Chains A and B, each alone.
Chain A
Amino acid sequence: MTLTDHLPALQVLVPLLTAPLVLLLHVRGLPRLAAIAASLTAFAIAVSLTGIVQTQGSASYEMGSWPAPYGIQLSISPFSTLLLLIVTGSSSLALLAGQDKLRMGPQGEPLFYAAWLLALAGLSGIVVAGDAFNIFVFMEIASLASYVLIAGGVDRRALLAVFKYLVMGTTGATFYLIGIGLIYMMTGTLDLADMETRIADVGELRPILVAAGFVTVGLALKAALFPLHVWLPNTYTYAPHMVTMFLAACSTKVALYVLLRFDFLVFQQNLTAHAVQFSIFLIPLAVFAILVASGVAIGERNIKRMLAYSSISQIGYVLLGASLVSVMGLTAGIVHMFNHALAKGALFLAVACLATRIETVRIENIRGIAKDMPLTMMAFVIAGLSLIGVPGTAGFVSKWYLIGAALDYGALGIVLVAVILVSSLMAVIYIWRFVEAAYFSDRQVPLTASGEAPLSLLAVTWVAVLANIYFGLSSQLPVSLASQAAETLLEHLP
């Protein structure tokens, strides 16, 4: 076996094994460099895996060559490589962008970056894992590590936010565990592929139904699905800026990824009319998420909190696409995971740029800031346009598919199209409020330092912004991965 064959395992192992090494580095700045190196390596692995999937199709990897269902199986598919690109890409960009002030000060650096790498390993692990229990283990690793990361925020309110997140996150994980426990009880297996075939032989389906409920709700909590989103706004607001960027781009999406895999690969074909229930249950939730969260975002005066609410509404888009249970709908949802990660990542990076020059990123403080930081604000505007879904940006591509899928859905589809359009217009309002404040008001609060943000931060922000434009004009890669993923998911429908 060559090294290439081991890439699925290395995807997780590289960050996982670098993490303890980072702990030993007590020279200032070195932990971050090590983390960058590990994260970039992981990104390179994700890119090459994408290449492999595109040429050779899906593959699975057996840990220690133990065959499934006895050994641990890792699965690589178009869907998972797309997620890997998001996870490793956003981690690398966030690390490259710069360094936040930390609560624990410079001494805390090794701890902080070790936690970062653990979070990265955990999130990648969830994506590649082929069995339900390993997903749980990696989910716990990722969650515990991200609690540490969020608590690193200098604002004391980060601690309260992280406690709330911890309680809710643990509840979600427990629900998920109960769910897979029930399935294990009925089928005696934890491997997802194996589960699918064995549930077919189970006579009494009621425990499976209960398990489906537990798994769905548990993961919905992790994914901050309306109305289980209450932990998200504060966590995003008070976490260090880079952590916000990293987690906002990928953590909720990874939970959604698991949710979709469970619902479409395991449950759909075994539970009677599951597809219908899935739609009936999730469409209203998605619609509420989109509208309510956009409405709240319009009223927010703190940029990070506004973006957090916008994230909740965007998760609604992903879910709306998936809940239409059609190839086009799923493609829209999955491609939106990618495009939203791009747009939101760029926006949070721009916010990090702003934060280097003002104390809190509130609307009062950014008035007139475009004169001092023209490049930052230009980045904010373009990323904002991508979030709104203006053509020429990545956000448009997913809206295009989503509206197309909704139109195919029949009479209700017209209403859904209206919802999507109304929320796009709401996005115009909540983004434009800040743009207008930055460009067309006079400065009231003095800047803490003059001039543009540090060059490295600005450069990374613009890389993300240009990616938004690139994938808006040429969406071949994410769309082809997403549509392959959608077809795989739907193949399992009866």
Chain B
Amino acid sequence: MIAAVVLPLMAALGIAAAGQRSPNIREAVTLFAAACLIAVVWVFLPEIMNGQSPRLQLAEMVPGIALAFRLEPLGLIFAMLASLLWLINSIYSIGYMRANREPRQTQFYISFAIALSATMGIAFADNLLTLFLFYEILTLSTYPLVSHKGDKNTIASARVYLGILLFTSIGLFLPAIIWTYQTAGTITFAENGVLAGHLSGVELGILLGLFVLGIGKAAVMPVHRWLPAAMVAPTPVSALLHAVAVVKAGVFSITKIVVYIFGLDQLANNDAATFFLSLAAFTIVVGSIIALRQTNLKRLLAYSTIAQLSYIVMAALILHPIAGVGAALHMVAHGFGKISLFFAAGAIYTASKKTELHQLKGIGRRMPWTMTAFTIGALSMIGLPPTGGFVSKWYVLGGALAAENLVAVTAIILSTLLNAAYFLPILHAAWLQEADAPETENHGEAPLPIVLATVTTAALTIAFFFYQGPVLDLASQMMGISASE
């Protein structure tokens, strides 16, 4: 377990040592570490499937509260997803950073590795404080990535990014943790929650609010502003933010807190859960509507992410086991789908420097591989078979229906329509329309590593439709139901 956290850190050191002197060695270190990380994380799979839950205590931060890790199903899903995507993302980064001749690449890979280390810490955290520690490290380590370009505009956006995430975490998340500790006497994750019998009614609702809004990384409105702002980052970073680490860390934290701190039963009788469910539903619909109005491809994807994240938050707050499984599945499905979309957007930028929607007419013929991947990603976002997005939506919808939650059902149906409304025109333009003006410069596909990574994630998106395998088992195990139900 400790290896999972330390390995990326070692990689960061190795990358720093290799430095600018030899980019090849530097990138080899990154890839090697990413591959090792996958091995280290996936080795735990059989153990967890057998229902074990190894725990490891490192130090005592404050007497009584340890810096400790514990493996449990949801965390393992998250860690497996992140480690797998780190490898693919690294391959992509190499192509992207070289093709675009980005400056400060060593710093880029170092920050990336530290961010991954923090992600592993979040995934394995045994208590809220450990989670919070790595949550903050993740915020800080991604700041240099977001501000990578270094011009005035970028710095201003990166400041919004850092500002919102730090202010919500220190201003809301931390007090919520301390409050939990004061009332329940513990902040260690436990089955069925730790708050039973300590808090109820309005207080419980306020605490839930502090958590849901304090975890700004989940981008529930109104704390979503940082996500579009962070779009100034290079594309591999956007992919990291949206699919691998940052937003996933947010929704992962919320899901984990709802399940292991509050406990589903505890929240079931509380109006606040309904309120925040409605807020998430609101975010889904409004985020989709805003996405509809975007003219820049990456900003469109950003608002799409905001909407998709709230799916997971909403699924967790439906408080039904099947919806909980849906939340875990959607974390993975959205990860694969969104990373394909971002990879494709970055490939288009690398090959042609195009960033706006109206420039995309006829691009499908020039970049067939990239646009195929984009199409698969888009289908997954809409939730059409044969993509992973269909499976997860199926479970969320099933949970919502089983819980007879009309708000959630309406939001899911509405957003499916809206998703189709903003993705289909792009697909139409890319595949079926002719380019407006003759191209000044001929371009084909992006460099090989980029295409390779993009196609891989798209393939994963489809594969996830046919085989959810361990993810489904783990998620079911977390919710205490058997996979066949």
Contacts and interface: CB of A to CB of B under 8 A. Distances in A.
A binds B: yes
Given A403-B175, A417-B175, A424-B170, A392 B136 contact: yes
B133 A391 contact: yes
A242 B66 CA distance: 36
B175 A397 contact: no
A475 B175 contact: no
Nearest to A389: B170
A391 B155 CA distance: 25
Interface stretch (B177-185, B361-369, B418-426): B177-185
Contact of A473 (B61, B144, B178): B61
Contacts, number: 67
Nearest to A427: B170
A87 to B, nearest CB: 25
Interface string B185-214: 000000000000000000000000000000
Nearest to A421: B171
A474 interface: yes
B63 A475 contact: yes
A473 B129 contact: no
**Which bucket holds chain A's interface residue count?**
20 to 34
A241 B144 CA distance: 30
Interface in A408-454: 408, 417, 421, 424-425, 428, 432, 436, 439-440
Is the contact region of chain A dominated by helix, strand, or loop, or is it mixed? helix
A475 B61 contact: yes
A277 interface: no
A111 B67 CA distance: 48
A472 B155 contact: no
Contacts of A197: none
A425 B166 CA distance: 8
A391 B182 contact: no
B178 A407 contact: yes
Nearest to A422: B171
Contacts of B485: none
Nearest to B67: A473
B275 interface: no
Interface residues of B, number: 29
A400 B59 CA distance: 17
B62 A400 contact: yes
Contact of B61 (A385, A388, A397, A403): A397
Given A404-B178, A473-B67, A440 B59 contact: no
A436 B158 CA distance: 11
A440 B155 contact: yes
B167 A425 contact: yes
Interface string A365-406: 000000000000000000001001111100011001101100
Contact of A391 (B132, B144, B162, B179): B132
B435 to A, nearest CB: 39
Contacts of B166: 425, 428
B61 A421 contact: no
Given A391-B136, A421-B170, A480 B63 contact: yes
A385 B133 CA distance: 12
Contacts of B136: 390-392
Contacts of A480: 63
A192 B184 CA distance: 41
Contacts of B155: 436, 440
Interface centre among A388, A403, A408 (most CB of B within 10 A): A403
Given A404-B178, A408-B182, A392 B63 contact: no
Nearest to A371: B104
Is the contact region of chain B dominated by helix, strand, or loop, or is it mixed? helix
A332 B166 CA distance: 23
Nearest to A473: B59
Contact of A404 (B140, B147, B150, B182): B182
B62 A440 contact: no
A479 interface: yes
A476 interface: yes
B170 A425 contact: yes
A474 B68 CA distance: 12
Nearest to B137: A392
B436 interface: no
A55 B18 CA distance: 49
Interface centre among A391, A476, A480 (most CB of B within 10 A): A391
Given A391-B132, A392-B137, A436-B155, A475 B60 contact: yes
Contacts of A392: 61, 133, 136-137
Nearest to A406: B178
Contact of B62 (A385, A397, A408, A432): A397
Contact of A428 (B132, B170, B178, B181): B170
A473 B132 CA distance: 13
B63 A479 contact: yes
Contacts of A440: 147, 150, 155
A473 B167 CA distance: 23
Given A404-B178, A407-B178, A425-B171, A476 B63 contact: yes
B2 to A, nearest CB: 14
A432 B137 CA distance: 15
Interface string B240-276: 0000000000000000000000000000000000000
Nearest to B150: A440
B50 to A, nearest CB: 32
A421 B175 contact: yes
A401 B182 CA distance: 11
Contacts of B67: 473
A474 B129 CA distance: 13
Contacts of A408: 182
Given A397-B62, A479-B62, A407 B179 contact: yes
A473 B59 CA distance: 6
B115 to A, nearest CB: 15
Interface string B55-86: 00011111100010000000000000000000
Contacts of B60: 474-476
Contacts of B182: 404, 407-408
Interface in B121-164: 129, 132-133, 136-137, 140, 144, 147, 150, 155, 159, 162
Nearest to A428: B166
A391 to B, nearest CB: 4
Interface string A113-124: 000000000000
A399 to B, nearest CB: 8
Given A404-B178, A480-B63, 7 more contacts: A385-B140, A388-B170, A404-B182, A428-B167, A428-B170, A474-B60, A476-B60
26 contacts: A391-B129, A396-B61, A397-B62, A400-B62, A404-B178, A404-B182, A421-B170, A425-B166, A428-B166, A428-B170, A432-B162, A436-B155, A440-B147, A440-B150, A472-B61, A473-B67, A474-B59, A474-B60, A474-B61, A475-B60, A475-B61, A475-B62, A475-B63, A476-B60, A479-B62, A480-B63
Closest 9 CB pairs of A and B: A391-B133, A474-B59, A473-B59, A392-B133, A403-B178, A440-B155, A407-B182, A400-B62, A390-B136
Interface of A: 385, 388-392, 396-397, 400-401, 403-404, 407-408, 417, 421, 424-425, 428, 432, 436, 439-440, 472-476, 479-480
Interface of B: 58-63, 67, 129, 132-133, 136-137, 140, 144, 147, 150, 155, 159, 162, 166-167, 170-171, 174-175, 178-179, 181-182
